[in-house]
Homo-oligomer: A and B are copies of this chain.
Amino acid sequence: MLTFYYSPGSCALASHIALEEAGAPFTLRRIDFSRAEQKSPAYLAINPKARVPAIVTPRGVLTETPAMLAFIAQSFPDARLAPLDDPFAFAQLQAFNVYLCSTVHVAHAHRMRGYRWADDPAAHLAMQKKVPQSVGQCYALIEQKMLKGPWVMGEQYTIADPYLYTLAQWLEADGVDAATIPRVADHRARMKERPAVKKAIAEELAG
């Protein structure tokens, strides 16, 4: 049995959806950011980075969304969530997920988490001001060069799809006009109809 630690509205939704798609047995455990529970001694013992998501497995803890998504795909191969027998195709998939993690999510984080990279409140404002442009450039590249369609990697639905969907929740708040990236917007709309997505979102709101 796995225990999945999340916070609603966070990037944890990607792994949560993947667990649902895989039919994985897991227990949900909400970390309450409004009470700074991610910095509590109990949670720091699980994830010293003080972030979500984290999965506690019988063998230990896993963190970092791209690593967790690959773990879910490899642990539940019948769900066919990644091209596990093709190192090149698997690397293309992982490159997409790592781009989301290290570039798209990072650009987004400069809107609300500027304190990670500067102490000056004026610098935080300067960062917020650039988010529509920096996040917008990421999505323009995804729209034009990366999203194969209908799913991220083409005909096969993979672990890249819930991750793109999760980050694309934040487009409007980041000041990006979804009408300028119609293929990403269409992907988001189709993802919303999947039973695993509906179930994961309902569970997070109820949790």
Q: How far is the CA of A141 from the CA of B62 in the complex (A)?
A: 15
* Residue from the list B70, B74, B118 in contact with A126, Cβ < 8 A: B118
Q: Is the interface of A mostly helix, strand, loop or mixed?
A: helix
Asked whether A117 and B119 contact (CB < 8 A) given A87-B71, A91-B71, A99-B64, the answer is no
* Residue from the list B66, B110, B122 in contact with A122, Cβ < 8 A: B122
B87 touching A66, Cβ below 8 Å: no
Distance from A147 Cβ to chain B, minimum over Cβ atoms (Å): 13
Asked whether A134 and B116 contact (CB < 8 A) given A67-B94, A92-B60, the answer is yes
Residue with the highest number of chain B CB atoms closer than 10 Å, among A116, A120, A126, A127: A126
* Residue from the list B64, B70, B122 in contact with A123, Cβ < 8 A: B122
Number of interface residues of A (CB under 8 A): 47
Distance from A207 Cβ to chain B, minimum over Cβ atoms (Å): 24
Q: How far is the CA of A88 from the CA of B177 in the complex (A)?
A: 39
**CB neighbours of A129 from chain B (8 A):** 118-119
The reply to whether the CB of A90 lies closer than 8 angstroms to some CB of chain B is yes
Q: How far is the CA of A95 from the CA of B49 in the complex (A)?
A: 12
Top-6 shortest CB links A-B: A71-B91, A123-B126, A67-B94, A74-B87, A67-B95, A120-B126
Query: Can you name 8 A-B pairs with beta carbons within 8 Å?
Result: A49-B103, A62-B91, A65-B98, A70-B87, A98-B101, A101-B101, A107-B117, A118-B126
Residues of chain A whose beta carbon lies under 8 Å from any beta carbon of chain B: 48-49, 57, 59-60, 62-68, 70-71, 74-75, 87-88, 90-92, 94-95, 97-99, 101-103, 105-107, 110, 116-120, 122-123, 126-127, 129-130, 134, 141, 145
Given contacts A60-B92, A67-B91, A118-B123, could you give 15 more A-B pairs where the C-beta distance is less than 8 Å?
A63-B95, A64-B95, A64-B98, A64-B102, A67-B95, A67-B97, A71-B90, A71-B94, A101-B101, A102-B102, A107-B117, A117-B134, A119-B126, A120-B122, A123-B127
